Structure 1
Amino acid sequence: MHRPQGVGSNYPGCFAEYVVAPVNFVYSAEGIDPDTAVFTEPTACAMHGIETLAARPGSTALVFVAGPTGLLVAQLLKRGGIAHVPVAAPTAYKLEAATALGIDATVVIDRTDSAGNLEALRAASGRDGYDYVIEATGSVEVAEICVPLTRNGGTVLIYGVTRADEVVRFHPFDVFRREITIKGSFAEITSFAAAIRALRSGRAKTDGIITHRFSLDDYGQALDAVAHDRSAHKVLIVP
Protein backbone atom coordinates (compact mmCIF):
# COMPACT_ATOMS: atom_id res chain seq x y z
CA MET A 1 0.00 0.00 0.00
CA HIS A 2 1.29 3.49 -0.87
CA ARG A 3 2.12 5.51 2.24
CA PRO A 4 2.51 9.27 1.61
CA GLN A 5 5.70 10.76 3.03
CA GLY A 6 6.05 14.38 4.08
CA VAL A 7 8.70 17.03 4.60
CA GLY A 8 8.71 17.78 8.33
CA SER A 9 7.31 14.39 9.31
CA ASN A 10 9.14 11.64 7.44
CA TYR A 11 11.96 13.93 6.22
CA PRO A 12 13.74 16.91 7.84
CA GLY A 13 11.42 19.89 7.91
CA CYS A 14 11.43 23.66 7.70
CA PHE A 15 12.68 24.77 11.13
CA ALA A 16 15.78 25.99 9.30
CA GLU A 17 17.00 28.99 7.33
CA TYR A 18 17.30 26.89 4.15
CA VAL A 19 15.47 23.78 3.00
CA VAL A 20 16.16 21.44 0.09
CA ALA A 21 13.08 19.88 -1.55
CA PRO A 22 12.38 17.96 -4.76
CA VAL A 23 11.38 20.37 -7.53
CA ASN A 24 7.97 18.71 -7.93
CA PHE A 25 7.24 19.64 -4.30
CA VAL A 26 7.73 23.36 -4.99
CA TYR A 27 5.05 25.90 -5.98
CA SER A 28 5.46 29.60 -6.68
CA ALA A 29 3.82 32.00 -4.26
CA GLU A 30 5.24 35.04 -6.05
CA GLY A 31 3.19 38.17 -5.47
CA ILE A 32 1.43 36.84 -2.36
CA ASP A 33 2.19 38.53 0.95
CA PRO A 34 4.27 36.17 3.14
CA ASP A 35 1.65 36.43 5.93
CA THR A 36 -0.83 34.99 3.43
CA ALA A 37 1.53 32.55 1.71
CA VAL A 38 2.20 30.73 5.01
CA PHE A 39 -1.41 29.52 4.84
CA THR A 40 -0.80 27.56 1.64
CA GLU A 41 -0.58 24.15 3.32
CA PRO A 42 -3.68 24.54 5.55
CA THR A 43 -5.57 26.04 2.60
CA ALA A 44 -4.57 23.03 0.49
CA CYS A 45 -5.94 20.74 3.20
CA ALA A 46 -9.15 22.78 3.28
CA MET A 47 -9.40 22.72 -0.51
CA HIS A 48 -9.04 18.94 -0.55
CA GLY A 49 -11.79 18.70 2.06
CA ILE A 50 -14.07 20.81 -0.16
CA GLU A 51 -13.28 18.62 -3.16
CA THR A 52 -14.03 15.50 -1.13
CA LEU A 53 -17.29 16.92 0.20
CA ALA A 54 -18.57 17.85 -3.29
CA ALA A 55 -21.29 20.04 -1.76
CA ARG A 56 -24.31 21.15 -3.77
CA PRO A 57 -24.71 24.90 -4.38
CA GLY A 58 -27.59 26.40 -2.42
CA SER A 59 -27.28 23.91 0.44
CA THR A 60 -26.35 24.51 4.10
CA ALA A 61 -23.16 23.52 5.89
CA LEU A 62 -22.25 23.68 9.58
CA VAL A 63 -18.51 23.89 10.30
CA PHE A 64 -17.08 23.08 13.72
CA VAL A 65 -13.81 25.03 13.92
CA ALA A 66 -10.77 24.86 16.18
CA GLY A 67 -7.80 26.00 14.09
CA PRO A 68 -7.27 28.15 11.00
CA THR A 69 -8.20 25.37 8.58
CA GLY A 70 -11.79 25.31 9.84
CA LEU A 71 -12.13 28.99 8.98
CA LEU A 72 -10.62 28.32 5.56
CA VAL A 73 -13.07 25.46 4.95
CA ALA A 74 -15.99 27.71 5.93
CA GLN A 75 -14.85 30.48 3.58
CA LEU A 76 -14.32 28.15 0.63
CA LEU A 77 -17.79 26.68 1.16
CA LYS A 78 -19.41 30.11 1.44
CA ARG A 79 -17.66 31.47 -1.63
CA GLY A 80 -18.31 28.24 -3.53
CA GLY A 81 -22.07 28.67 -3.61
CA ILE A 82 -23.25 27.23 -0.28
CA ALA A 83 -26.19 29.34 0.85
CA HIS A 84 -25.70 29.26 4.62
CA VAL A 85 -22.45 28.39 6.45
CA PRO A 86 -22.65 28.86 10.22
CA VAL A 87 -19.50 28.27 12.25
CA ALA A 88 -19.48 26.78 15.76
CA ALA A 89 -16.62 27.07 18.27
CA PRO A 90 -16.13 27.36 22.03
CA THR A 91 -13.75 30.32 21.79
CA ALA A 92 -15.01 33.86 21.27
CA TYR A 93 -11.99 35.20 19.37
CA LYS A 94 -12.27 32.41 16.79
CA LEU A 95 -15.89 33.31 16.18
CA GLU A 96 -14.93 36.97 15.94
CA ALA A 97 -12.32 36.02 13.33
CA ALA A 98 -14.98 34.07 11.43
CA THR A 99 -17.30 37.08 11.37
CA ALA A 100 -14.48 39.37 10.22
CA LEU A 101 -13.73 36.94 7.38
CA GLY A 102 -17.32 37.14 6.11
CA ILE A 103 -18.94 34.08 7.71
CA ASP A 104 -22.64 34.83 8.05
CA ALA A 105 -23.48 33.16 11.38
CA THR A 106 -21.64 31.93 14.47
CA VAL A 107 -22.71 29.75 17.39
CA VAL A 108 -20.90 29.48 20.73
CA ILE A 109 -20.62 25.89 21.95
CA ASP A 110 -19.55 24.46 25.30
CA ARG A 111 -16.62 22.01 25.32
CA THR A 112 -18.32 19.85 27.97
CA ASP A 113 -22.04 20.08 27.10
CA SER A 114 -22.76 17.86 24.08
CA ALA A 115 -26.51 17.75 24.72
CA GLY A 116 -26.73 21.51 25.04
CA ASN A 117 -24.62 22.01 21.90
CA LEU A 118 -26.85 19.64 19.96
CA GLU A 119 -29.99 21.50 21.00
CA ALA A 120 -28.55 24.96 20.29
CA LEU A 121 -27.24 23.97 16.86
CA ARG A 122 -30.47 22.22 15.90
CA ALA A 123 -32.36 25.37 16.82
CA ALA A 124 -29.96 27.50 14.77
CA SER A 125 -30.64 25.28 11.74
CA GLY A 126 -34.40 25.77 11.90
CA ARG A 127 -34.75 22.40 13.67
CA ASP A 128 -34.13 20.04 10.72
CA GLY A 129 -30.32 20.16 10.66
CA TYR A 130 -27.79 20.86 7.93
CA ASP A 131 -27.08 19.32 4.54
CA TYR A 132 -23.40 19.05 5.47
CA VAL A 133 -21.71 18.95 8.88
CA ILE A 134 -17.92 19.36 8.93
CA GLU A 135 -16.04 18.27 12.05
CA ALA A 136 -12.79 20.26 11.94
CA THR A 137 -11.86 20.24 15.64
CA GLY A 138 -10.53 16.74 16.25
CA SER A 139 -12.85 16.45 19.26
CA VAL A 140 -14.61 13.11 19.80
CA GLU A 141 -17.35 14.88 21.76
CA VAL A 142 -18.05 17.18 18.81
CA ALA A 143 -17.86 14.32 16.29
CA GLU A 144 -20.55 12.40 18.17
CA ILE A 145 -23.19 15.09 17.56
CA CYS A 146 -22.46 15.45 13.84
CA VAL A 147 -24.78 12.69 12.59
CA PRO A 148 -27.77 13.93 14.66
CA LEU A 149 -27.22 17.43 13.22
CA THR A 150 -27.26 16.21 9.61
CA ARG A 151 -30.44 16.33 7.53
CA ASN A 152 -31.85 13.23 5.87
CA GLY A 153 -29.63 12.35 2.93
CA GLY A 154 -26.89 14.67 4.18
CA THR A 155 -23.15 14.21 4.67
CA VAL A 156 -20.76 14.33 7.64
CA LEU A 157 -17.13 15.16 6.82
CA ILE A 158 -14.51 14.08 9.37
CA TYR A 159 -11.80 16.66 8.76
CA GLY A 160 -10.27 17.23 12.21
CA VAL A 161 -7.51 14.93 13.46
CA THR A 162 -8.19 12.78 16.52
CA ARG A 163 -5.77 10.44 18.24
CA ALA A 164 -5.52 7.07 16.51
CA ASP A 165 -7.00 5.22 19.51
CA GLU A 166 -10.08 7.44 19.95
CA VAL A 167 -13.55 6.13 19.05
CA VAL A 168 -16.67 8.02 17.94
CA ARG A 169 -20.10 6.48 18.60
CA PHE A 170 -23.17 6.83 16.41
CA HIS A 171 -26.35 4.88 15.80
CA PRO A 172 -25.94 2.82 12.61
CA PHE A 173 -29.72 2.43 12.28
CA ASP A 174 -30.04 6.23 12.18
CA VAL A 175 -27.37 6.43 9.44
CA PHE A 176 -29.15 3.63 7.54
CA ARG A 177 -32.68 5.00 7.97
CA ARG A 178 -31.81 8.58 7.06
CA GLU A 179 -29.23 7.67 4.38
CA ILE A 180 -26.41 9.67 5.94
CA THR A 181 -23.04 9.66 4.20
CA ILE A 182 -19.84 9.82 6.29
CA LYS A 183 -16.65 10.91 4.53
CA GLY A 184 -13.06 11.53 5.57
CA SER A 185 -10.53 14.04 4.25
CA PHE A 186 -6.81 13.38 4.72
CA ALA A 187 -4.11 16.01 4.18
CA GLU A 188 -3.71 18.09 1.05
CA ILE A 189 -2.95 15.42 -1.59
CA THR A 190 -3.01 17.35 -4.90
CA SER A 191 -4.61 20.65 -3.94
CA PHE A 192 -1.66 23.05 -3.57
CA ALA A 193 -2.13 24.80 -6.92
CA ALA A 194 -5.84 25.37 -6.23
CA ALA A 195 -5.03 26.63 -2.73
CA ILE A 196 -2.55 29.19 -4.05
CA ARG A 197 -5.13 30.42 -6.57
CA ALA A 198 -7.69 30.80 -3.76
CA LEU A 199 -5.23 32.78 -1.64
CA ARG A 200 -4.08 34.91 -4.57
CA SER A 201 -7.65 35.77 -5.59
CA GLY A 202 -8.92 36.45 -2.06
CA ARG A 203 -11.40 33.59 -2.19
CA ALA A 204 -9.67 32.38 0.97
CA LYS A 205 -8.77 35.25 3.32
CA THR A 206 -6.41 35.04 6.28
CA ASP A 207 -6.73 38.48 7.91
CA GLY A 208 -6.59 38.35 11.70
CA ILE A 209 -5.86 34.61 12.01
CA ILE A 210 -2.16 35.01 12.91
CA THR A 211 -1.86 35.56 16.66
CA HIS A 212 1.75 34.70 17.58
CA ARG A 213 5.21 35.07 15.99
CA PHE A 214 8.47 33.49 17.15
CA SER A 215 12.04 33.52 15.88
CA LEU A 216 13.65 30.34 14.61
CA ASP A 217 15.70 30.16 17.81
CA ASP A 218 12.48 30.12 19.83
CA TYR A 219 10.73 27.35 17.89
CA GLY A 220 10.34 25.35 21.12
CA GLN A 221 8.25 28.18 22.58
CA ALA A 222 6.22 28.27 19.38
CA LEU A 223 5.37 24.58 19.66
CA ASP A 224 4.50 25.04 23.32
CA ALA A 225 2.15 27.90 22.40
CA VAL A 226 0.37 25.71 19.84
CA ALA A 227 -0.04 22.94 22.42
CA HIS A 228 -0.95 24.93 25.52
CA ASP A 229 -1.83 28.59 24.84
CA ARG A 230 -5.61 28.95 24.47
CA SER A 231 -5.11 32.35 22.82
CA ALA A 232 -2.97 30.89 20.02
CA HIS A 233 -4.65 30.51 16.65
CA LYS A 234 -2.05 30.62 13.88
CA VAL A 235 1.55 30.60 15.14
CA LEU A 236 4.39 31.66 12.83
CA ILE A 237 8.09 30.87 13.04
CA VAL A 238 10.01 33.65 11.26
CA PRO A 239 13.59 32.78 10.17
Structure 2
Amino acid sequence: MNAEKNLISRRGIYLLPNLFTTGALFSGFYAITSAMDGRYETAAIAIFVAMILDGLDGRVARLTNTQSEFGAQYDSLSDMVAFGVAPALVMYLWAFYSLGRLGLFAAFVHTAGAALRLARFNTQIETADKRYFQGLPSPAAAAILAGFIWISIEHGYDVSMLKYLAVILTISTGLLMVSNFRYSSFKQIDFKRRVPFFVSIAIMLGIAFIMAQPQTMLFLLFLGYAISGPIITLVGRKRKLQGRKG
Protein backbone atom coordinates (compact mmCIF):
# COMPACT_ATOMS: atom_id res chain seq x y z
CA MET A 1 0.00 0.00 0.00
CA ASN A 2 2.80 2.44 0.91
CA ALA A 3 4.62 1.58 -2.30
CA GLU A 4 1.48 2.34 -4.30
CA LYS A 5 1.06 5.68 -2.50
CA ASN A 6 4.69 6.59 -3.18
CA LEU A 7 4.28 5.60 -6.83
CA ILE A 8 1.19 7.81 -7.17
CA SER A 9 2.89 10.75 -5.47
CA ARG A 10 5.91 10.49 -7.83
CA ARG A 11 4.16 9.76 -11.11
CA GLY A 12 0.64 11.05 -10.60
CA ILE A 13 -2.37 9.23 -12.04
CA TYR A 14 -3.36 8.30 -15.57
CA LEU A 15 -5.68 11.01 -16.87
CA LEU A 16 -7.62 9.43 -19.74
CA PRO A 17 -9.27 6.38 -18.10
CA ASN A 18 -9.93 8.30 -14.90
CA LEU A 19 -11.76 11.00 -16.89
CA PHE A 20 -14.28 8.36 -17.96
CA THR A 21 -14.56 7.15 -14.37
CA THR A 22 -15.15 10.71 -13.19
CA GLY A 23 -17.81 11.10 -15.87
CA ALA A 24 -19.58 7.98 -14.60
CA LEU A 25 -19.35 9.28 -11.04
CA PHE A 26 -20.81 12.64 -12.08
CA SER A 27 -23.64 10.92 -13.98
CA GLY A 28 -24.60 9.03 -10.84
CA PHE A 29 -24.47 12.22 -8.81
CA TYR A 30 -26.51 14.03 -11.46
CA ALA A 31 -29.12 11.26 -11.34
CA ILE A 32 -29.57 11.87 -7.61
CA THR A 33 -29.88 15.64 -7.96
CA SER A 34 -32.30 15.26 -10.89
CA ALA A 35 -34.53 12.97 -8.83
CA MET A 36 -34.49 15.51 -5.98
CA ASP A 37 -35.84 18.04 -8.49
CA GLY A 38 -38.53 15.61 -9.64
CA ARG A 39 -36.91 14.95 -13.04
CA TYR A 40 -37.03 11.17 -12.80
CA GLU A 41 -36.72 10.44 -16.51
CA THR A 42 -33.53 12.49 -16.65
CA ALA A 43 -32.29 10.63 -13.58
CA ALA A 44 -32.90 7.26 -15.22
CA ILE A 45 -31.11 8.31 -18.42
CA ALA A 46 -28.16 9.60 -16.36
CA ILE A 47 -27.73 6.14 -14.84
CA PHE A 48 -27.53 4.62 -18.33
CA VAL A 49 -24.97 7.27 -19.30
CA ALA A 50 -22.95 6.24 -16.25
CA MET A 51 -23.08 2.64 -17.51
CA ILE A 52 -21.64 3.62 -20.88
CA LEU A 53 -18.83 5.64 -19.32
CA ASP A 54 -18.11 2.87 -16.80
CA GLY A 55 -17.81 0.40 -19.65
CA LEU A 56 -15.38 2.65 -21.48
CA ASP A 57 -12.92 3.45 -18.69
CA GLY A 58 -11.60 -0.10 -18.33
CA ARG A 59 -11.37 -0.65 -22.09
CA VAL A 60 -9.54 2.64 -22.57
CA ALA A 61 -7.12 1.72 -19.77
CA ARG A 62 -6.37 -1.65 -21.40
CA LEU A 63 -6.02 -0.19 -24.89
CA THR A 64 -3.64 2.54 -23.71
CA ASN A 65 -1.88 0.30 -21.17
CA THR A 66 -2.78 2.69 -18.33
CA GLN A 67 -4.23 0.24 -15.80
CA SER A 68 -3.41 0.98 -12.17
CA GLU A 69 -4.50 -0.01 -8.70
CA PHE A 70 -5.63 3.58 -8.15
CA GLY A 71 -7.86 3.40 -11.21
CA ALA A 72 -9.38 0.10 -10.06
CA GLN A 73 -10.22 1.47 -6.62
CA TYR A 74 -11.55 4.75 -8.04
CA ASP A 75 -13.74 2.76 -10.44
CA SER A 76 -15.23 0.79 -7.55
CA LEU A 77 -16.06 3.96 -5.62
CA SER A 78 -17.65 5.44 -8.74
CA ASP A 79 -19.68 2.26 -9.25
CA MET A 80 -20.93 2.43 -5.69
CA VAL A 81 -22.32 5.91 -6.24
CA ALA A 82 -23.63 5.43 -9.80
CA PHE A 83 -25.03 1.90 -9.47
CA GLY A 84 -25.59 1.46 -5.75
CA VAL A 85 -26.64 4.73 -4.15
CA ALA A 86 -28.07 6.57 -7.19
CA PRO A 87 -30.64 4.00 -8.42
CA ALA A 88 -31.75 3.24 -4.86
CA LEU A 89 -32.31 6.92 -4.03
CA VAL A 90 -33.99 7.66 -7.36
CA MET A 91 -36.33 4.71 -6.84
CA TYR A 92 -37.02 5.81 -3.25
CA LEU A 93 -37.90 9.35 -4.26
CA TRP A 94 -40.01 8.17 -7.20
CA ALA A 95 -41.98 5.30 -5.67
CA PHE A 96 -41.05 4.58 -2.04
CA TYR A 97 -41.43 7.92 -0.31
CA SER A 98 -44.97 7.12 0.88
CA LEU A 99 -44.08 3.60 2.04
CA GLY A 100 -42.12 4.66 5.09
CA ARG A 101 -39.82 2.01 6.53
CA LEU A 102 -40.63 -0.51 3.81
CA GLY A 103 -39.38 1.92 1.18
CA LEU A 104 -36.23 2.66 3.19
CA PHE A 105 -35.62 -1.07 3.61
CA ALA A 106 -36.00 -1.82 -0.09
CA ALA A 107 -33.70 1.03 -1.13
CA PHE A 108 -31.10 0.02 1.44
CA VAL A 109 -31.13 -3.62 0.32
CA HIS A 110 -30.12 -2.53 -3.17
CA THR A 111 -27.46 -0.14 -1.83
CA ALA A 112 -25.99 -2.72 0.55
CA GLY A 113 -26.13 -5.39 -2.17
CA ALA A 114 -24.07 -3.19 -4.48
CA ALA A 115 -21.50 -2.48 -1.75
CA LEU A 116 -21.12 -6.17 -0.89
CA ARG A 117 -21.01 -7.15 -4.57
CA LEU A 118 -18.20 -4.70 -5.29
CA ALA A 119 -16.23 -5.71 -2.19
CA ARG A 120 -16.49 -9.40 -3.11
CA PHE A 121 -15.49 -8.70 -6.71
CA ASN A 122 -12.38 -6.77 -5.62
CA THR A 123 -11.23 -9.50 -3.24
CA GLN A 124 -11.79 -12.35 -5.73
CA ILE A 125 -10.58 -10.66 -8.91
CA GLU A 126 -7.36 -12.72 -9.06
CA THR A 127 -9.00 -16.11 -8.48
CA ALA A 128 -12.43 -15.78 -10.12
CA ASP A 129 -13.34 -17.47 -13.40
CA LYS A 130 -13.03 -14.70 -16.00
CA ARG A 131 -15.88 -16.16 -18.06
CA TYR A 132 -18.45 -15.47 -15.35
CA PHE A 133 -19.43 -12.93 -12.71
CA GLN A 134 -20.50 -14.17 -9.31
CA GLY A 135 -23.74 -12.36 -8.61
CA LEU A 136 -25.53 -9.85 -10.80
CA PRO A 137 -23.13 -7.02 -11.79
CA SER A 138 -24.09 -3.71 -10.18
CA PRO A 139 -24.44 -1.82 -13.52
CA ALA A 140 -26.98 -4.39 -14.72
CA ALA A 141 -28.89 -4.18 -11.42
CA ALA A 142 -28.97 -0.39 -11.69
CA ALA A 143 -30.13 -0.62 -15.32
CA ILE A 144 -33.14 -2.72 -14.29
CA LEU A 145 -34.31 -0.10 -11.80
CA ALA A 146 -33.54 2.83 -14.12
CA GLY A 147 -35.25 1.07 -17.02
CA PHE A 148 -38.32 0.33 -14.92
CA ILE A 149 -38.63 4.00 -13.95
CA TRP A 150 -38.01 5.18 -17.51
CA ILE A 151 -40.52 2.84 -19.12
CA SER A 152 -43.17 3.67 -16.48
CA ILE A 153 -42.80 7.41 -17.07
CA GLU A 154 -42.71 6.99 -20.86
CA HIS A 155 -46.01 5.09 -20.88
CA GLY A 156 -47.65 7.24 -18.21
CA TYR A 157 -48.13 4.47 -15.65
CA ASP A 158 -49.49 5.51 -12.26
CA VAL A 159 -46.62 5.14 -9.78
CA SER A 160 -49.05 4.43 -6.93
CA MET A 161 -50.08 1.25 -8.74
CA LEU A 162 -46.48 0.16 -9.24
CA LYS A 163 -44.82 0.92 -5.92
CA TYR A 164 -45.10 -2.59 -4.47
CA LEU A 165 -43.84 -4.11 -7.72
CA ALA A 166 -40.98 -1.63 -7.52
CA VAL A 167 -40.25 -2.80 -3.96
CA ILE A 168 -40.00 -6.42 -5.12
CA LEU A 169 -37.82 -5.44 -8.05
CA THR A 170 -35.48 -3.33 -5.92
CA ILE A 171 -35.05 -5.98 -3.23
CA SER A 172 -34.53 -8.62 -5.91
CA THR A 173 -31.71 -6.69 -7.58
CA GLY A 174 -30.02 -6.23 -4.22
CA LEU A 175 -30.23 -9.95 -3.41
CA LEU A 176 -29.14 -11.04 -6.89
CA MET A 177 -25.99 -8.93 -6.57
CA VAL A 178 -24.90 -10.89 -3.47
CA SER A 179 -26.12 -14.25 -4.75
CA ASN A 180 -23.87 -17.07 -5.97
CA PHE A 181 -25.59 -17.19 -9.36
CA ARG A 182 -23.15 -17.08 -12.27
CA TYR A 183 -23.58 -14.47 -14.98
CA SER A 184 -21.76 -14.50 -18.28
CA SER A 185 -19.07 -11.82 -18.47
CA PHE A 186 -18.95 -12.01 -22.31
CA LYS A 187 -15.17 -11.68 -22.03
CA GLN A 188 -14.72 -14.85 -24.07
CA ILE A 189 -16.18 -13.09 -27.13
CA ASP A 190 -13.47 -12.15 -29.60
CA PHE A 191 -14.53 -8.90 -31.26
CA LYS A 192 -11.52 -9.02 -33.62
CA ARG A 193 -12.39 -12.28 -35.37
CA ARG A 194 -14.41 -12.51 -38.56
CA VAL A 195 -18.13 -13.33 -38.32
CA PRO A 196 -20.74 -14.30 -40.94
CA PHE A 197 -22.45 -11.39 -42.69
CA PHE A 198 -25.85 -12.21 -41.18
CA VAL A 199 -24.38 -11.65 -37.69
CA SER A 200 -23.59 -8.02 -38.55
CA ILE A 201 -27.11 -7.62 -39.94
CA ALA A 202 -28.57 -9.04 -36.71
CA ILE A 203 -26.46 -6.66 -34.64
CA MET A 204 -27.60 -3.66 -36.68
CA LEU A 205 -31.24 -4.72 -36.33
CA GLY A 206 -30.78 -5.12 -32.59
CA ILE A 207 -29.33 -1.61 -32.31
CA ALA A 208 -32.22 -0.27 -34.39
CA PHE A 209 -34.77 -1.91 -32.07
CA ILE A 210 -33.04 -0.45 -29.01
CA MET A 211 -32.88 3.03 -30.54
CA ALA A 212 -36.57 2.89 -31.53
CA GLN A 213 -37.75 2.08 -27.98
CA PRO A 214 -34.72 2.45 -25.70
CA GLN A 215 -36.63 2.47 -22.41
CA THR A 216 -38.51 -0.76 -23.21
CA MET A 217 -35.69 -2.64 -24.91
CA LEU A 218 -33.03 -1.76 -22.33
CA PHE A 219 -35.29 -2.78 -19.46
CA LEU A 220 -36.16 -6.11 -21.11
CA LEU A 221 -32.54 -6.71 -22.09
CA PHE A 222 -31.17 -6.31 -18.57
CA LEU A 223 -34.14 -8.08 -16.99
CA GLY A 224 -33.41 -11.04 -19.25
CA TYR A 225 -29.75 -10.90 -18.22
CA ALA A 226 -30.78 -10.95 -14.55
CA ILE A 227 -32.92 -14.03 -15.15
CA SER A 228 -30.11 -15.75 -17.06
CA GLY A 229 -27.98 -16.08 -13.91
CA PRO A 230 -30.21 -18.57 -12.08
CA ILE A 231 -30.73 -20.47 -15.34
CA ILE A 232 -26.99 -20.75 -16.07
CA THR A 233 -26.28 -21.84 -12.50
CA LEU A 234 -29.04 -24.45 -12.37
CA VAL A 235 -28.11 -25.88 -15.77
CA GLY A 236 -24.46 -26.09 -14.69
CA ARG A 237 -25.34 -27.91 -11.49
CA LYS A 238 -27.60 -30.32 -13.36
CA ARG A 239 -24.79 -31.20 -15.75
CA LYS A 240 -22.41 -31.80 -12.85
CA LEU A 241 -24.90 -34.16 -11.21
CA GLN A 242 -25.42 -36.03 -14.46
CA GLY A 243 -21.65 -36.28 -14.90
CA ARG A 244 -21.21 -37.79 -11.44
CA LYS A 245 -23.99 -40.30 -12.04
CA GLY A 246 -22.54 -41.22 -15.41
When normalised by structure 1's length, the TM-score is 0.21
Greater Rg over alpha carbons, structure: 2
When normalised by structure 2's length, the TM-score is 0.21
Structure with more of its chain in helix, by fraction: 2
Structure with more of its chain in strand, by fraction: 1
